[in-house]
Chains A and B, each alone.
Chain A
Amino acid sequence: MAAAESAEEIVVRPLGGDKLYRPTNLSDLSFSTTADLQPIDGLVGQTRALEAIQFGTKVERAGFNLFVIGPNGARMQDAVKAVLVDEARRKPIPSDWVYVNNFADPDRPIAMELPGGRAREFHEAMHKLIDDLKAALPAVFQSEDYQTRRGAIDESFQKKQGEAFTALRDKAAEKEVVLLRTPLGFALAPAKDGQVVPPDEFKGWPEAKRRQMQAIIEALEKELEHIIHQLPQWEKQRRDEIRQLNRDTAKYAVDQLIEETKASFNDIPRVAQHIDMVRSDLVENVTMFVMKSEDGEDDSSALKAGSSFDRYEVNVLVTQDAGRPGAPIIEELHPALGNLIGRIEYISVRGALLTNFRLIKGGALHRANGGYLLLDARSVLIEPFSWAALKRILRRGEIAIEDIARFLGFTSTVSLEPDPIPLKVKLILFGDRLLYFLLAALDPELADYFKVLADFENDFVRTPENEAILARLLATLTQRDGLNALDRDAVVLVLEHAARLADHAGKLSLVVEQLREILIEADFCARQAERAVISRADVDQALKARIRRAARVRDRAQEAILENVALIATEGTHVGQINGLSVLELGGFSFGHPTRITCQVRPGTGKVVDIEREVELGGPLHSKGVLILSGFLAGRYALDTPMSLFASLVFEQSYGGVEGDSASSAELYALLSALADVPLRQDLAVTGSVNQHGEIQAIGGVNEKIEGFFDICDKRRLTGSQGVLIPQANVQHLMLRREVIDACTAGQFAIFPVSTINEGIALLTGLPAGERAADGIYPPNSINRRVEDRLRAFANIRRSFGSERSGAATGI
């Protein structure tokens, strides 16, 4: 016998109105509207999470990043940010970071650290330097002085060449030979009166004269060849001299400007060193900026992005506002790889994709470096490469900008490998619990990089003090969102709704976003009615409107029942048939829905068949519930007899999946009714799971389930006998709608708290369940007796059937 069954039959009485709803107690809080209440900042009712956040943000060790989990709509980000603000204010301003050109290796730009707020100054200074150079360099290179010196070099070169060629020309002229330019080079020709001797005339010359001329020309050709061979050497000398002149001139032009620029940054040796490198580069490459190349080609024809001076610009990757002390708190809503770790952009120049250090863009990690970076875990995980890159960066301890397109072979152009930047950021990931637990199970590295868990509570205990705190939170929300204040009654209703949201009369929901939505909608109702204060009626209207907007499916389901398309009886009795209750959640809206459960029995092999499971519509929890029924039967009835039952259970007119075990008690009642051949009341609906001892266990969604059956009964007509059997353990969760409470108070509807199967079956059949007497036999006409008798009868049938078959087989 089950230990839980008492020796005497217990009569279950319906719950009184005071058990169906717990009103708010704000007696200790004096206010007429929320405008009178002091707003509350920071975390409410989240002591555990707060402790974790404070620890996680203060501990300065690698891997001690935070993973904040909690229900959706808990506004964890806002809450954490509020905590971080104070912490961040106490931290020093992080460094600024810039990228500058690497003159030795332009493909590897140099990252430079500056004191917070100085990067912009450096950028402006270099920009000004470039502007000044743009004016100063051409001026000095066009100056008379430079031109004179340059002219002197050119002239010297030209003179050297000219003298050589003039001497050759004069010598040739003396010997009546002229130098000619041919399309491909030079030639020497016999001349007469300064003109080339025509061939016919030349042929008319005596042989000796022709030979003499040939010898003269051959000698001159050797001289011409000698001079031409000297030209590259002379040209090199000229270029060297001009290069040196350009260096000297550039140095003269830039020195003062460079020193002026450097003076402001002498306290940052790295910057001063860079400016010196700029000077060297300018002096070495000055021709790039002030003149066309020596061969007359315009430099602009080269493939490059921007002006030649751009190489001296400063790319400010991240800079701090010097006027705002403290560390940055950055929230990246779109953590795509580029937005997270930065990216290298390209520009198209004549069809080629080009880049340089100025096209390096910082990411959220750069902006948050030295402070806090807040990321939504789901967003990070759904972005390709972001999660892996984030872990890589945490492992390396530095931010390296990766060009994923290059790794994947999407681009085949020259890219950059910028210097990595040391990472000093506190990462805070936000996500729901399921995501965290899945990630923890599937990614062992999670524990290495996110060692601190902050778990936000869904609700907190409903005490008058906590109700007062939540009332102040409502005041905060109205103030923050610019909503009208709520009057006292409106606050009461919102708090009671918070308890309903928590699915517990003794708790209050901490899912702030849900409360905020109600406030916004109530505010809308108040403004529509031209009221300056949100009243209870506005809140009530908002709550009803929310349900109305979402309840199309519920209404269609109820309509189907009322039109007898879905068969649900709310009067009379029936053997092996009961009203079960289920909850449907669609798009955040939940509603209860009665379902007819039926059972058929006959002799068999001791099997209870769950038809839902057979057709694969039943989930594992539902199947478990049905299997428990077999255990219950086996443990309670005809212990000396083999179980010779075949029973089938089904959710009638259920065409979708069924999950959960909250209907297992209803299934057991239907089974017992079928076995006992005793009809069950159809004006009652049942919810609750059952264990093998026949104890009724708590289920979820009790309020929605009760209201779902009530709505059907109410629409058909309340008879006064209708009601719902709920687990005793669920009484504490009741926060029912006003109509249900009123009907119960008026005796038109009833909620029965049930602890055992015996209590339930007695209510449903009007017959006692029956307790075994000292002789081990249930009382006559009790349900249990009838069940046991039926099971024995099945066993006998099976036994006799087995004997007949055995006899037939042996020829008896």
Chain B
Amino acid sequence: MPTELHSFRRLVLGLQSSAPDPAMRLAVELAELLDLDLLGLFLEDASLRDLAGIPFAREFRLLGGGWHSFDLDRLMHDLDVAARGMERTFTQAVGSLSKRSQFEVMRGPVAEAITSISNTGDIVMIVEPTSAAERVSGQFSWLVEAAFRSAAAVMLVPSRIIRFKGPIVAVAMAGDFPTIAAAAAIAVAAKEKLIVIGPGGWDRENPRIAQLAAKTGLTIQHVTAGDLSADSTACLKAMRQLQERLVVMARLPFDGATASAIVTARQVPVLVIEPERLPPGEGDSRT
């Protein structure tokens, strides 16, 4: 049933310097629920190699403190160690999914790496770094920008996930059935309730929601929200009493900033999909 409601085929977990264990578990769980292949992608950004070539470049080391000059060999070695460490963590986390999982290291500019590897059947999962410094680092900004520019859906994951159980929330404008269908796919697989946040009366006008409920046996609850397109305020207000575990929304009219604001406020993952993405048989999909 879940595969009939979405057209995702692969989950790409973008890995940089760190990946918290809960995020890793979430990736594995989602891949299992939606029957997806899982790709752990370690992004070794080329900018560091460029930086090492600049004569006065140096790094501030968190452990031990102080400024230290770059040594290219040492830098490469450290990146290699980080990649192998990440691979080990990933392999341990995937467990039973190991046959459908893969780990890759990609070198080069982050943006190019994401663009080259992702396609319409992918969900690119990006885990927010714990540290604010990392969040403002060039690599993270380039990763988020590249992901949102790509054809793939993007899942933003907070560094600390506060809930692993609870309803799936779809934030959908009038006519945005694909968002609801994708959220329904996850809700069915996770055996959770589906809550649709949207304009008032929209569900009654849309017979497909009723059909979806009948077809999946899902309990679908509708929460009316104000002007959703403005910013995240209306959205967050509508979610206030919900105990959701995941939010699904479309890239338009929402943008990465709205999704990021929801992640920060709700501390739950947000899946941002292409607005025109439709389940098989529901319309064209960009394959």
Question: Footprint of B on A, CB under 8 Å?
Answer: 142, 144, 147, 151, 154-155, 158, 161-162, 164-166, 168-169, 178-187, 189-191, 194-200, 202, 214, 217-218, 221, 224-225, 227-228, 296
Query: Which residue of A184, A190, A296 contacts B54 across the interface (Cβ within 8 Å)?
Result: A190
The answer for the CA separation of A557 and B195 in the assembled complex, in Å, is 101
Q: Could you say which of B74-82, B92-100, B169-177, B207-215 contacts chain A?
A: B74-82
User: What are 16 A-B pairs at a CB distance below 8 A?
Assistant: A154-B160, A158-B264, A162-B135, A162-B136, A164-B132, A165-B135, A180-B137, A182-B78, A183-B79, A187-B48, A187-B60, A189-B138, A191-B138, A196-B50, A214-B56, A221-B60
Q: Could you say which of B16-24, B114-122, B182-190, B272-280 contacts chain A?
A: B16-24
Q: Are A198 and B53 in contact (CB under 8 A)?
A: yes
Contacts of A168 in B (CB 8 A): 136
Tell me, yes or no, whether B140 is within 8 Å of chain A by CB: yes
The answer for the CA separation of A706 and B138 in the assembled complex, in Å, is 116
Q: Are B17 and A181 in contact (CB under 8 A)?
A: yes
Q: Are A217 and B22 in contact (CB under 8 A)?
A: no
The answer for the CA separation of A198 and B46 in the assembled complex, in Å, is 10
Q: Are A202 and B136 in contact (CB under 8 A)?
A: no
A160: nearest residue on chain B (CB-CB)?
B132
Q: Interface digits, B37-71 against A, CB 8 Å rule (1 contact, 0 not)? A: 00000000101101101101111111100010010
Which residues of chain B in 232-282 are interfacial with respect to chain A, using CB atoms and an 8 Å cutoff? 240-241, 243, 264-265, 267
Q: Are A198 and B59 in contact (CB under 8 A)?
A: no
Q: Are A183 and B60 in contact (CB under 8 A)?
A: no
Query: Which residue of A142, A166, A189, A225 contacts B51 across the interface (Cβ within 8 Å)?
Result: A189
Write the nearest CB–CB distance from A171 to chain B, whole angstroms: 11
Q: Are B136 and A169 in contact (CB under 8 A)?
A: yes
Write the nearest CB–CB distance from A367 to chain B, whole angstroms: 47
Interface centre among B21, B57, B142, B163 (most CB of A within 10 A): B57
Q: Is the interface of B mostly helix, strand, loop or mixed?
A: mixed
B134: nearest residue on chain A (CB-CB)?
A181
A143: nearest residue on chain B (CB-CB)?
B243
The answer for the CA separation of A142 and B164 in the assembled complex, in Å, is 11
The answer for the CA separation of A186 and B51 in the assembled complex, in Å, is 12
Contacts of A166 in B (CB 8 A): 136
**Besides A189-B51, A190-B54, 16 other CB < 8 A contacts?**
A142-B162, A144-B240, A151-B267, A154-B160, A178-B47, A179-B133, A179-B137, A180-B51, A183-B79, A184-B61, A186-B59, A187-B57, A189-B47, A196-B138, A199-B53, A228-B62
A177: nearest residue on chain B (CB-CB)?
B138
Tell me, yes or no, whether B199 is within 8 Å of chain A by CB: no
Q: Are A221 and B134 in contact (CB under 8 A)?
A: no
Q: Are B265 and A151 in contact (CB under 8 A)?
A: yes
Q: Interface digits, B1-41 against A, CB 8 Å rule (1 contact, 0 not)? A: 00000000000000011001110000000000000000000
Query: Which residue of A147, A155, A165, A190 contacts B133 across the interface (Cβ within 8 Å)?
Result: A165
A158: nearest residue on chain B (CB-CB)?
B132
Q: Are B56 and A217 in contact (CB under 8 A)?
A: yes
The answer for the CA separation of A10 and B189 in the assembled complex, in Å, is 119
Q: Are A185 and B51 in contact (CB under 8 A)?
A: no
User: Count the B residues whose beta carbon is within 8 Å of the partner chain — how many?
Assistant: 49
Interface centre among A151, A180, A187 (most CB of B within 10 A): A187
Write the nearest CB–CB distance from A536 to chain B, whole angstroms: 82
Which 10 pairs from chain A and chain B are nearest by CB? A199-B53, A161-B132, A183-B78, A196-B47, A187-B59, A185-B61, A178-B138, A169-B136, A181-B137, A165-B136
A181: nearest residue on chain B (CB-CB)?
B137
Q: Are B60 and A180 in contact (CB under 8 A)?
A: no
Q: Are B136 and A182 in contact (CB under 8 A)?
A: no
Q: Are B47 and A142 in contact (CB under 8 A)?
A: no
Interface centre among B22, B58, B136 (most CB of A within 10 A): B136
Contacts of B59 in A (CB 8 A): 182, 184-187
Q: Are B60 and A189 in contact (CB under 8 A)?
A: no
Contacts of A225 in B (CB 8 A): 60, 67
Q: Are A184 and B63 in contact (CB under 8 A)?
A: yes
The answer for the CA separation of A227 and B63 in the assembled complex, in Å, is 15
Contacts of B135 in A (CB 8 A): 162, 165
Given the interface pairs A142-B163, A202-B54, the reply to whether A161 lies near B133 with Cβ below 8 Å is yes
Q: Are A194 and B67 in contact (CB under 8 A)?
A: no
The answer for the CA separation of A168 and B22 in the assembled complex, in Å, is 30
Contacts of A217 in B (CB 8 A): 56
Contacts of B20 in A (CB 8 A): 296
Write the nearest CB–CB distance from B71 to chain A, whole angstroms: 11
Which residues of chain B in 144-170 are interfacial with respect to chain A, using CB atoms and an 8 Å cutoff? 160, 162-163
Tell me, yes or no, whether B139 is within 8 Å of chain A by CB: yes
The answer for the CA separation of A180 and B133 in the assembled complex, in Å, is 9
Q: Are A183 and B138 in contact (CB under 8 A)?
A: no
Write the nearest CB–CB distance from A9 to chain B, whole angstroms: 113
Interface centre among B20, B56, B265 (most CB of A within 10 A): B56
Contacts of B81 in A (CB 8 A): 183
Query: Which residue of A142, A155, A182, A224 contacts B48 across the interface (Cβ within 8 Å)?
Result: A182
B82: nearest residue on chain A (CB-CB)?
A183
Contacts of A158 in B (CB 8 A): 132, 264
Contacts of B142 in A (CB 8 A): 194
A178: nearest residue on chain B (CB-CB)?
B138
Given the interface pairs A165-B133, A180-B48, A183-B82, the reply to whether A147 lies near B162 with Cβ below 8 Å is yes
A184: nearest residue on chain B (CB-CB)?
B61
The answer for the CA separation of A225 and B21 in the assembled complex, in Å, is 29
Query: Which residue of B56, B78, B139, B267 contacts A184 across the interface (Cβ within 8 Å)?
Result: B78
Write the nearest CB–CB distance from B197 to chain A, whole angstroms: 16
Given the interface pairs A161-B132, A180-B51, A182-B48, the reply to whether A189 lies near B57 with Cβ below 8 Å is yes
Query: Which residue of B47, B82, B163, B243 contacts A180 across the interface (Cβ within 8 Å)?
Result: B47
Contacts of A218 in B (CB 8 A): 56
Q: Are A221 and B137 in contact (CB under 8 A)?
A: no
The answer for the CA separation of A218 and B22 in the assembled complex, in Å, is 38
Q: Are B136 and A179 in contact (CB under 8 A)?
A: yes
Contacts of A196 in B (CB 8 A): 47, 50-51, 138
Contacts of B109 in A (CB 8 A): 195
Write the nearest CB–CB distance from A159 to chain B, whole angstroms: 9
Given the interface pairs A162-B132, A195-B109, A199-B54, the reply to whether A186 lies near B265 with Cβ below 8 Å is no
Write the nearest CB–CB distance from A566 to chain B, whole angstroms: 86
Query: Which residue of B22, B51, B136 contacts A296 across the interface (Cβ within 8 Å)?
Result: B22
Q: Are A144 and B241 in contact (CB under 8 A)?
A: yes
The answer for the CA separation of A349 and B148 in the assembled complex, in Å, is 48
B166: nearest residue on chain A (CB-CB)?
A142
Q: Are B243 and A187 in contact (CB under 8 A)?
A: no
Contacts of B267 in A (CB 8 A): 147, 151, 154
Which residues of chain B in 77-114 are interfacial with respect to chain A, using CB atoms and an 8 Å cutoff? 78-79, 81-82, 109
Contacts of A195 in B (CB 8 A): 47, 109
Contacts of B265 in A (CB 8 A): 151, 155
The answer for the CA separation of A154 and B161 in the assembled complex, in Å, is 13
Contacts of B139 in A (CB 8 A): 180-181
The answer for the CA separation of A195 and B59 in the assembled complex, in Å, is 18
Write the nearest CB–CB distance from B157 to chain A, whole angstroms: 14
The answer for the CA separation of A217 and B58 in the assembled complex, in Å, is 10
Contacts of B129 in A (CB 8 A): 181
Write the nearest CB–CB distance from A204 to chain B, whole angstroms: 12
The answer for the CA separation of A165 and B129 in the assembled complex, in Å, is 13
Write the nearest CB–CB distance from A260 to chain B, whole angstroms: 27
The answer for the CA separation of A361 and B79 in the assembled complex, in Å, is 55
Query: Which residue of A162, A181, A200, A214 contacts B140 across the interface (Cβ within 8 Å)?
Result: A181
Contacts of B79 in A (CB 8 A): 183
Interface centre among B50, B81, B163 (most CB of A within 10 A): B50
Write the nearest CB–CB distance from B64 to chain A, whole angstroms: 9
Given the interface pairs A199-B50, A224-B60, the reply to whether A183 lies near B136 with Cβ below 8 Å is no
The answer for the CA separation of A198 and B75 in the assembled complex, in Å, is 16
The answer for the CA separation of A640 and B13 in the assembled complex, in Å, is 127
Contacts of A221 in B (CB 8 A): 58, 60, 67
Contacts of A185 in B (CB 8 A): 59-63
A201: nearest residue on chain B (CB-CB)?
B50
The answer for the CA separation of A191 and B54 in the assembled complex, in Å, is 12
